[in-house]
Chain A
Amino acid sequence: MRLAEALLALFRVLVYIFLLAPIAVVVLASFNAGNFLTFPPQGLSLRWFVTFLQNDVFIDAIVYSAVLAALATAVSLVIGTMAALYYVRHAGKEAETVRVLLLLPLILPEILTAIALLFFFYQIGVGLEHRIALFTGHVLMTLPFVFLNVTTSLQGRDEACELAARSLGASRMTAFRRVTLPLIAPGLATGGVFAFIISFDTFGISFILKGTGSAPLPIQLYDYLRFNFTPEAAAVSTVSIIFTLAAVVVADRLFGRKG
């Protein structure tokens, strides 16, 4: 019994290491002073971050991804929150249908959704012009995360609070603004952060729908990695990881502890 438990504990530790190792290795590699991805690093240095900062392609890609993610998140937050309100408060018998519909983009294979969108936009004559297809794809990918998070925080809240506000003379809109919104702010923040990260990192949609010209970060990174093995990619990845961590920390500080 003792032995079995010790083995189980060891196994768990190994799995936790397994989870963290590839990420840790990327971050460590980015501080490598050497020319190639050697391990252990040949001394510590920030040279690959400097290289990265001088590389317009990656800088552009990061900015491009951040803007795209911010816009997609904004749209998803509005649409997803409305849908969550409907699902939790008004859907009644269709609730299950609504949930499945909203989660479709998450359940369906991303790459297939991307391809389906590609055909669709070509056939309605829009193609990949003006990045409409790419943007639509990103909104689709992020929508389920906003929906799930807002739904959870709405379900944890007593509907009676909204009704109380109505009985006190608040219109539907005012009750939402003054009562519901402050109460679900943490859910909105979590959903927003999730959406931002998903959009920032998503591959399939961007890969298929990027069109010509500048491309989001994961695509630039992928293209680069197919032919290069310098630690510059690791530096880019580290910056990207710091970006997402910052988003999480900021959201947590702003909304995490309240409510």
Chain B
Amino acid sequence: MTEVSLLSLVKSYGGAPALRGISLSVGHGQFVSLLGPSGCGKSTTLRCIAGFEEVTDGRILFDGKDISRKLPEKRDIGMVFQSYALFPHLTVAQNLAFGLEMRKVPKAQIAERVARTLDLVQLTPYAERYPKALSGGQQQRVALGRALVIEPAILLLDEPLANLDAKLRDEMRGFIRDLQKRVGITTIYVTHDQNEAMTMSDLVVVMFDGAIAQAGTPEEIYNTPSTEAVARFVGNANILDLPAANPGAGTIDLTLPGGASLTIPAPEKPAARLGIMARPEQIALTGAGQGHLGGRVTRRLFGGGYIDYEIATDFGVLAVQTPANVLADEGQAVGLLLDPARLWPVARDAAA
């Protein structure tokens, strides 16, 4: 178990910055996800930690020791690649043994540890197969096993589920999470799928354009995003331009169109323009003329256990998600009820 700290990591490729000062600390045995859109620098961060990229500036500490100049093979990491990168000319067992051979572990011990790890990733019957002859999910588990068998200080995974179909992805998600908890290894996980990040992580780090936009628990990221961009990236978000007055003392007052007013917590950082975020499932439908806002249903999408509504209001079209038993027809006038405790002020994007 190892503690990982990134201290203002900067990486540029011939002048073009890919990382602009990443600072992050990951505690013993924590599962951290790097989440962000394509090209935001998630893989680059991981490759810097693994040692495949030389950092332009900043430091990487493992348990307080600076390892930013160490060769990748000296860093004691386990890495799982999106393409799995299994050695095609070696059997499953040989793939797992590779890292132990590099560490000059005695033969008998290698066999034993490989067997134990095969068991862990549930691949014992496939030990003598070549990677070609395995399904995607099995290959995935070989990659995991190969990274774990060396008992590395930390485990790095770069979009390991991206090549799997939806059902298998859900299965593997649980498998990886359980395995990580059981082994208790510090893990950094890269994904652009917010669902994956939310369900698996202790800590979610949202990145945009080479910088960290917000780091927090999945609940924090989802319920109290710091900016509009974060709010929109992790889940669906309605952002309302409500006139706000700030009486100080950590709260702000909102005035609703009907004249009613709400008091909600103030943002930590002052922002040029504030918007009020309400998640679709945090808005309730009531009869026309009731609630905080009025609107008209423009679309209704049945989703099984829930219904997604789109409702035209004075604040634009809002997304509302209700339990499946709340019914309103398309074209029907409805009232919207906001939950003051769940409204959250976010800094609006400059462009918006």
Interfacial residues, chain A to chain B (CB-CB below 8 A): 93, 158, 160-161, 163-171, 174-175, 178-179, 182-183, 258-259
Contact = CB atoms under 8 A, between A and B. Distances in A.
A69 to B, nearest CB: 29
Contacts of A166: 51-52, 71-73
Interface in B22-66: 50-52
A170 B73 contact: yes
A68 B302 CA distance: 77
Interface in B42-98: 50-52, 71-79, 81-89, 98
B14 interface: yes
A169 B73 contact: yes
28 contacts: A158-B83, A160-B81, A161-B87, A161-B88, A163-B50, A163-B81, A164-B81, A164-B86, A165-B87, A166-B52, A166-B72, A167-B72, A167-B77, A167-B156, A168-B73, A168-B150, A169-B73, A169-B76, A170-B73, A170-B98, A171-B71, A171-B73, A174-B102, A178-B98, A182-B89, A183-B89, A258-B89, A259-B89
B146 A164 contact: yes
Leading 6 A-B pairs by shortest Cβ distance = A168-B99, A160-B85, A169-B102, A164-B85, A167-B79, A166-B72
* Among B72, B86, B103: residue with most chain A CB under 10 A: B72
B122 to A, nearest CB: 21
Nearest to A160: B85
**Chain B interface SS verdict (over half):** loop
Contacts of A258: 89
A183 B88 contact: yes
A180 B71 CA distance: 18
Nearest to A181: B89
A96 to B, nearest CB: 16
B103 A169 contact: yes
Contacts of A183: 88-89
Max chain A CB contacts within 10 Å: which of B51, B99, B146, B147? B99
A170 B102 contact: yes
B15 to A, nearest CB: 12
Contacts of A169: 73-74, 76, 99, 102-103, 150
Given A93-B14, A164-B79, A169-B150, A179 B50 contact: no
B87 A163 contact: no
